[in-house]
Amino acid sequence: MQHEVDVVVIGAGPVGENVADRARAAGLQVVIVEQELVGGECSYWACVPSKTLLRSAAALRAARRVPGAAEAVTGDLDVAAVLARRNWFVSDWSDEGAVGWLDSVGIELVRGHGRLAGPRRVVVEHADGTLTELVARHAVAVSTGSDPVMPRIDGLAEARPWTSREATSAQEVPARLAVIGGGVVAVEMATAYAGFGTEVTVFARSGLLGGMEPFAGEAVADGLRELGATVRLGVTPERVERAPSGEVVLTLAGGEQLVADEVLVATGRRPRTDDLGLETVGLEPGSWLDVDDELLVRGVDGGWLVAVGDVNHRALLTHQGKYQARAAGDGIAARALSRPVDAAPWGAHVATADHRAVPSVVFAEPEVASVGLTAAAARDAGIDVRVVEVGLDAASGTGIHSDGPAGRAALVIDQERGTVVGATFVGQDVGELLHAATIAVVGEVPTDRLWHAVPAFPTVSEIWLRLLEALGRPGADA
User: Does pLDDT of 353 surpass 90?
Assistant: no
Residues that constitute the known binding site for NAD(+) = 181-188, 268
Question: Which pLDDT score, from 0 to 100, does residue 341 have?
Answer: 52
Q: Where are the domains of the chain?
A: 2-39+95-147+270-353, 157-267, 366-471
At 447, which amino acid appears? T
Mean pLDDT value of segment 444-473: 93
Confidence of residue 474 (pLDDT cuts 50, 70, 90): low
Banded pLDDT at 137 (limits 50, 70, 90): very high
- What's residue 346's pLDDT? 52
140-173 b/e (C-beta count within 10 Å ≥ 16 → b)? bbbbbbbbbeebebebbeebebbbbeebbbbeeb
pLDDT at position 344 = 52
Compare 206 and 180 and report the one with higher pLDDT.
Answer: 180
| Percentage of residues in the chain having pLDDT higher than 90 | 90
150-163 per-position pLDDT tens digit:
999 999 999 999 99
- pLDDT at residue 395 tops 90: no
- Let me know: does 53 contact 82? Beta carbons within 8 Å: yes
Round to whole Å and give the CA distance between 294 and 322.
14
Tens digit of pLDDT for each residue in 263-322? 999 999 999 999 999 999 999 999 999 999 999 999 999 999 999 999 999 999 999 999
Region 87-98: mean pLDDT is 98
For residue 405, pLDDT over 80 is answered with no
Tell me the pLDDT band of 340, cut-offs 50, 70 and 90.
low
Average pLDDT (123-134) is 97
pTM (two decimals) = 0.94
- What was the pLDDT predicted at 348? 56
Within its chain, how far is the Cα of 59 from the centroid? 21
Contact in structure between 78 and 87 (CB atoms under 8 Å): no
In CATH, the number for domain 157-267 is 3.50.50.60
Residue 275's CB: how many other CB atoms inside 10 A? 12
> What is the model's pLDDT at position 350?
86
State the pLDDT confidence band at 343, using cuts at 50, 70 and 90: low
Give the CATH fold of the 366-471 domain. Answer: Enolase-like; domain 1 (3.30.390)
pLDDT of residue 290: 97
Could you give the CA distance from residue 136 to residue 271 in angstroms, rounded to a whole number?
23
Please write the tens of the pLDDT for every residue from 223-264.
999 999 999 999 999 999 999 999 999 999 999 999 999 999
DSSP 228-252: T-EEEET---SEEEE-TTS-EEEE-
| Three-state SS at 8 | strand
Sign of the four-CA dihedral 60, 431, 380, 353: positive
Instruction: Count Cβ neighbours within 10 Å for each residue of 296-332 and write b for 16 or more, e otherwise.
Output: bbeebeeebbbbbbbbbbbbbbbbbbbbbbbbbbbbb
**Per-residue confidence (pLDDT) for residue 22, from 0 to 100:** 95
Q: Is pLDDT of 83 > 80?
A: yes
- Please give the average per-residue pLDDT across 321-343, as a whole number: 86
Distance between CA atoms of residues 181 and 264, nearest Å: 9
pLDDT digit string (tens) for 408-433?
Answer: 999 999 999 999 999 999 999 999 99
What pLDDT, on the 0 to 100 scale, is given for residue 292?
A: 96
| Mean pLDDT value across residues 382-388 | 97
| Res 400: pLDDT | 87
Band the pLDDT of 476: cuts 50, 70, 90.
very low
Q: Contact, 263 vs 241, CB < 8 A?
A: no
User: In 65-196, which residue ranges form alpha helices assigned H by DSSP?
Assistant: 69-72, 79-89, 96-105, 164-169, 184-195
pLDDT of residue 401: 86
Decide: 437 and 423 in contact? Cβ < 8 Å. yes
Q: Binding site membership: which residues?
A: 51, 114, 144-146, 181-188, 268, 310
Q: Does the pLDDT at position 104 exceed 70?
A: yes
Please tell me the predicted confidence (pLDDT) of residue 473. Answer: 64
Identify the DSSP state of 225.
H
CATH no., domain 2-39+95-147+270-353:
3.50.50.60
Q: What percent of the chain has pLDDT over 70?
A: 97
- In DSSP terms, which residues pair with 257 in a beta bridge? 251
Cβ-count burial of 195 within 10 angstroms (0-12 exposed, 13-18 middle, 19+ buried)? Answer: buried
Checking if the pLDDT of 357 tops 70, the result is yes
CATH fold match for the domains 2-39+95-147+270-353 and 157-267: yes
pLDDT at position 477, please?
Answer: 45
Q: Binding site for FAD: residue ranges?
A: 51, 114, 144-146, 310
